[in-house]
Amino acid sequence: MNKRPETEAELAELIAGRDAPLWIRGGGTAGVVPDGADVLKTSGLAGISLYEPGALTLVVKAGTPLAEVQGVLAAEGQRLAFEPADLRGVLEASGEPTIGAVAAMNVSGPRRIQAGACRDFMLGVRYVDGLGTIVKNGGRVMKNVTGYDLVKLMSGACGTLGVLTEVSMKVLPMPEAQGCVMVDGLAPDAAVHAMSAALGSPYDVTGAAHLPVGVDGAPATMVRVEGFGAQVDYRTGKLRDLLGRFGDVRVETDAERVTAGWRYVRDLEGLVGVEGDLWRISVKPSDGPAVLAGLNAVKAQMDWGGGLIWAVVPAGTDVRERMGVAGHATLVRGSGQPRFHPETPVNAQLAAGLRAKFDPKGMFNPGLMGAN
Amino acid sequence: MEMPAPNPAIVAKKAELVRRLSEVLPSDAVIHDEAETRAYECDALTAYRCPPLAAVLPSTTQEVSDVLRICHQMGVPVVPRGSGTSLAGGALPTADSVILGVARMNAVLETDYDNRFIRVQTGRTNLSVTGAVEADGFFYAPDPSSQLACAIAGNIAMNSGGAHCLKYGVTTNNLMGVTMVLMDGTITEIGGAHLDAAGLDLLGVICGSEGQLGVVTEATLRILAKPEGALPVLMGFDTNEGAGACVSDIIKAGVLPVAIEFMDRPCIEACEAFAKAGYPMCEALLIIEVEGSPEEIRHQLSLIKEIAAAHNPVDYREAADADEAYRIWLGRKSAFGAMGQINDYMCLDGTIPVSALPEVLRRIGELSKHYGLGVANVFHAGDGNMHPLILYNANQPGQLELCEAFGADILRLCVEVGGCLTGEHGVGIEKRDLMVDQFAPVDLEAQMAVKDVFDPAWLLNPAKVFPLASSEARRAVKIAAE
């Protein structure tokens, strides 16, 4: 059974009068909805409610396609700075990602280390809770500490606390230029040292990734800067000097090639079609190389200066058992293990308590998060 | 602003409470003498005062846990306190509460430049976090004006901002993990040196919860490499509209300054009289700061100058060196002192959409005439966070109430134009009763449900944030359980 409400009020009524499980589906690209489940499609709640480029503010209905949002922003020379990934390739999914799903799953890309995650750009939400109540939190302004920040709580809750109907976001100008400084042939630990040096420099690095197997088959370490043309020239020059001690350094400032390179990292293009379970592992960057070495990965890449590992491992591998350090691992593609990393007993209890308050009937995406 | 009447049953248990607290803390960490508890009777919202039943100054997370467990068992409310610099009354006690001050917990626990974080005890002051890493070229970005005194604990409670958050974000964007003690004494770790949450973003809701969900004793904070340099430019306009449009055009052009500060005529006049920084006399003044290498700074300033020219500035001054930069900032940084020289003042903190700026300033001017109280506006224009300073005479009966009524009208105006009651100071008691102007009852209910989970007995800082009428039933549970 599919439901596709066209208004927030219709959605609220539907939820109020129901107590059976309901799976929330944006574009259906994340592949989390089980076969045969009752599905709530958010695509009927679409459209841009407000966009003020001079105030860097966007208010948009949750079911709006991400591509539409990005198109509207690009027309004004702006963008979603947290760089949401498009994982359709690696998930072998079709469909159109929605802004609501990006918000609900806190989807962020390589720029997360510098600009922040999706949750850091979310200014406000409207949602319908598990009793059918329409709730708003936050707003449309950039600085707001009025009451509790339920915006952050909703971001990353994957719909388990409520159905997002509208989100407000801070947007940023697209930079005039971008450049990429590359070091070839590094082992993961040397790569993380190089990326730490770059990220610890004053040059405002907006991406730092390592591909143990790059496009041409050899290891590639990539550091990105963005800004005005002269600024990018200056900063790539400085970073070239800084990273010279790690190996041979190349600088790429062709916009198309730099964009393509970072899309390759962001969308996991190198992991498309690689057989096995896909994991997303967040650790302290300096722990990254050891974690990576212990995974027995078929193929993997590091982002966020080494702190984010994307790895395809043989099906059934217990990545969490192999980590051995603080952090968390999410099973993005595969089965047989919980999708989300188990929380400590105290935090799990707090999370369960919050779910019981926000969705007392336990309707939304049951079993997706937590131990319910 | 009303506070709930103290519960006589709790006050009557003072001796037992002090005895039990003294069993888990050194004797100098339990303050119960009436003369000494006065030191904790207020924070920076000094119009409201009430000595607590007792104050405790634990030195470790375990001691915090012991204190909370005892208070939880005895049904005693606890008001956490950082450095007591809240302008919103966030650390105001009631006569039946224990103040839990984290001031003795000020150690740096770990500094990690490779992974770009610092872990500190939360009694450490904001500026001393930067102080611990600046020799190595790093800094902690959020910079509230009280940064010399304010504690990280309070910054986390209020999700504090500062002048530079246009580029670097506020506390929540720079907080990676916490050690927190729940009201029943349970110690938990949330987040850490890795990014983002394993499950729900508990860290996100804890930051800004005004000490109502738990006591944060340790924090992992993101540190950044210091930029190569920074320089401000000052420009004057003969209309607020002109200045507002200039800000909007600069942002649209893709220049992202680290700070855009706005002052209106009353504020310019007061600051000039006080600090003699050589400001131009005009309707509106902008101070815009950019960062980078000298070359990068020159490039950004040239773009800003070109954009500003389209809005006919009556004055335009670029700082050529550190001394000129100092003089440009001098007036702005002495704004509060300058106003204090003229009279008592109340500092507000609403945020508005940047586009509503001219309308809001015009209507604040009308309200000023209506109430017969002067007001000066200084604010972070890049993000719309206003700080109207209302002048009044605290010694004249009725003036505080008049000033509060004026302030409430300004904050309602902020909400009306699409903004909010508070951008960085927090709700505390100051904006508590205005929450119904911004939120529907169901919105407040959703927030209070979060507190129900973390602090079911509503013992942690219970009389803050939510209008007393909204939270009454929940707070009554505690009293009924006596």
Which of B196, B307, B435 should one mutate to test binding to chain A, selecting the residue with the greatest count of A CBs within 10 A?
B196
pLDDT digits (tens, 9 = 90+) for B368-404: 999 999 999 988 888 899 999 999 999 999 999 999 9
Residue A293: its pLDDT value, please? 97
Enter the tokens of residue A63: 């079911």
Q: How far is A223 from chain B (nearest CA, A)?
A: 16
Report whether pLDDT(B482) > 50.
Answer: no
- DSSP class per residue in B293-336: SHHHHHHHHHHHHHHHHTT--SEEEE--SHHHHHHHHHHHHTHH
Statement to judge: residues B414 and B308 lie in one domain: no
Residue B477: its pLDDT value, please? 67
CA angle A169, A171, A177 (to 5 degrees): 160
Give the whole-angstrom CA distance, residue B402 versus residue B386. 20
- Do the Cβ atoms of A353 and B453 come within 8 Å? yes
Enter the tokens of residue A81: 């700075």
- The number of C-alpha atoms within 13 Å of A215 and in the hemisphere containing its C-beta is 10
Tell me which chain B residues have a C-beta less than 8 angstroms from the C-beta of A15: none
Q: What DSSP element (H or E) covers B389?
A: strand B385-392
Say if B457 falls within a structural domain.
Answer: no
pLDDT digits (tens, 9 = 90+) for B317-365: 998 888 899 999 988 888 888 888 888 999 999 999 988 988 999 999 9
pLDDT band at residue A332 using 50, 70 and 90 as cut-offs: very high
Domain A2-173 has CATH 3.30.465.10: yes
Say if B87 falls within a structural domain.
Answer: no
How many cross-chain Cβ pairs, A to B, lie less than 8 Å apart? 266
Residue B150 identity: C
Contacts of residue A203, Cβ cutoff 8 Å, sequence gap at least 6: A225, A235, A238, A239
Contact present, A303 and A265 (Cβ < 8 Å): yes
Give the whole-angstrom CA distance, residue A148 versus residue A146. 7
Percent share of chain B, pLDDT over 90: 84
User: What pTM, to 2 d.p., does this model score?
Assistant: 0.97
Report whether pLDDT(B480) > 70.
Answer: no
Tell me which chain B residues have a C-beta less than 8 angstroms from the C-beta of A304: 195
Domain with B264 in it: 230-335
Establish whether this prediction's ipTM goes over 0.85.
Answer: yes
pLDDT digits (tens, 9 = 90+) for B29-69: 999 999 999 999 999 999 899 999 999 999 999 999 999 99
- The number of C-alpha atoms within 13 Å of B124 and in the hemisphere containing its C-beta is 22
Pairing, β A39-41 against β A2-3 = parallel
- DSSP class per residue in B95-117: TT-EEEE-TT---EEEEETTTTE
Q: Which of A318-332, B69-83, B326-340, B439-453 has the lowest mean pLDDT?
A: B326-340
pLDDT band at residue B478 using 50, 70 and 90 as cut-offs: low
Q: Domain holding B400: CATH number?
A: 3.30.70.2740
pLDDT digits (tens, 9 = 90+) for A142-185: 999 999 999 999 999 999 999 999 999 999 999 999 999 999 99
Say if B399 falls within a structural domain.
Answer: yes
Statement to judge: residues B287 and B379 lie in one domain: no
Which of A148, A196, A280, A359 should one mutate to test binding to chain B, selecting the residue with the greatest count of B CBs within 10 A?
A148
Tell me which chain B residues have a C-beta less than 8 angstroms from the C-beta of A144: 351, 420, 422-423
Phi, psi of B412 (to 5 degrees): -65, -35
Say if B149 falls within a structural domain.
Answer: yes
Say if B21 falls within a structural domain.
Answer: no
Q: How far is B298 from chain A (nearest CA, A)?
A: 11
Q: What's the mean pLDDT in B139-157?
A: 95
Q: Give me the residues paired with residue B222 across strands.
A: B117
Statement to judge: residues B221 and B236 lie in one domain: no
Say if B408 falls within a structural domain.
Answer: yes
- Do the Cβ atoms of A202 and B422 come within 8 Å? no
Percent share of chain A, pLDDT over 90: 92
pLDDT digits (tens, 9 = 90+) for B229-285: 999 999 999 998 899 999 989 988 888 899 999 999 999 999 998 888 899 999 999
Pairing, β B98-101 against β B54-56 = parallel
Say if B463 falls within a structural domain.
Answer: no
- Do the Cβ atoms of B295 and A284 come within 8 Å? no
Residue A227 identity: G
Tell me which chain A residues have a C-beta less than 8 angstroms from the C-beta of B169: 116, 120
- The rounded mean pLDDT for chain B is 94
- Do the Cβ atoms of B197 and A156 come within 8 Å? yes
Boundary residue ending a domain (B167, B194, B225): B225
Q: What's the mean pLDDT in A50-59?
A: 94
Phi, psi of A279 (to 5 degrees): -120, 150
- The rounded mean pLDDT for chain A is 96
pLDDT digits (tens, 9 = 90+) for B6-17: 999 999 999 999
Residue of A53, A54, A351 with shortest CB distance to B200:
A351
Report whether pLDDT(B481) > 50.
Answer: no
Which of A141, A176, A226, A339 should one mutate to test binding to chain B, selecting the residue with the greatest count of B CBs within 10 A?
A141
Statement to judge: residues B291 and B373 lie in one domain: no
Boundary residue ending a domain (B309, B335, B361): B335
Q: Out of 3.30.70.2190, 1.10.357.10, 3.30.70.580, 3.20.20.60, which CATH number does the structure's domain A177-266 have?
A: 3.30.70.2190
**Burial (Cβ within 10 Å: 0-12, 13-18, ≥19) of residue A275:** exposed
Residue A371: its pLDDT value, please? 58
pLDDT digits (tens, 9 = 90+) for A94-109: 889 999 999 999 999 9
Statement to judge: residues B154 and B206 lie in one domain: yes
Statement to judge: residues B202 and B149 lie in one domain: yes
Contacts of residue B268, Cβ cutoff 8 Å, sequence gap at least 6: B279, B280, B281, B282, B285, B331
Residue B94: its pLDDT value, please? 97
Residue A140 identity: R
Q: What's the mean pLDDT in A116-134?
A: 98
Better-predicted residue by pLDDT, A169 or B166? A169
- Do the Cβ atoms of A156 and B196 come within 8 Å? yes
Q: How many CB atoms within 10 Å of residue B322?
A: 11
Give the whole-angstrom CA distance, residue A60 versus residue A72. 11
Q: How many domains does chain B divide into?
A: 3
